[in-house]
Amino acid sequence: MNIKEYFSSLEDTRVQGMILHFLTDIIAIATLAGCEEWQDIAERGQSYESDLKK
């Protein structure tokens, strides 16, 4: 089973039409970056916000 299949059952509650990235991609990248909780993902994203917007 690959990572997309593993997390495919998660409900994505984000606003449709405003989504730039697949939820499974966000989770995969966060996992590789060592994030363990949603708060970790948010903090990581905020700390790299300017780089991510390039």
Q: What is the pLDDT of residue 49?
A: 76
Domain spans of the chain? 11-52
Give residue-wise pLDDT tens across range 2-53.
877 888 888 889 899 988 888 888 888 888 888 888 898 888 878 877 876 7
- Say which residue the tokens 């994505």 belong to: 12
In 3D space, the residue among 13, 50, 51, 48 whose CA is nearest the CA of residue 33 turns out to be 48
- Cα–Cα distance measured from residue 44 to residue 35, given in angstroms and rounded to the nearest whole number: 8
pTM of the model: 0.59
Q: What is the pLDDT of residue 20?
A: 84
